[in-house]
Amino acid sequence: MASYLVLFGFTPQGVQHIKDCPARVAAAKETVRSLGGEVRAFYGIMGSAHDTLFIVDAPDDAAMARMVLAIAEKGFVRTETHRLFTEDEFGEIVRSLP
């Protein structure tokens, strides 16, 4: 499975309903699971344009896109997703350079 960093920023609707955030995090984790992924970590973020993040393992980019879109369509967060590479994966990429 591939790993991804998903950064979340609260929308105005998300801020208005901030006390519901723990339940939304649980629901988002279930969405990821139901679409074949696994949330490896959740963090709240201080001092950033983003408010929270997930580290997610997903089968591929298309599956990750489905997960993020399913979470974002609720209207409480904006998302930014980045593909992550382990040290070994990154080393392999670098070693394969011409």
pLDDT, one tens digit per residue, over 71-89 is 999 999 999 999 999 999 9
Q: How many whole angstroms separate alpha carbon 20 and alpha carbon 14?
A: 9
Paired with 82 in beta bridges are 5
Domain 2-95 homologous superfamily, CATH: Dimeric alpha+beta barrel (3.30.70.1060)
- Predicted confidence (pLDDT) per residue in 16-56, tens digit: 999 999 999 999 999 999 999 999 999 999 988 999 999 99
pLDDT for the residue numbered 41? 98
- pTM (2 decimals)? 0.92
pLDDT for the residue numbered 21? 95
For the chain, which residues make up each domain, given as ranges?
A: 2-95
Label residue 10 by pLDDT band (50, 70, 90): very high
pLDDT for the residue numbered 9? 97
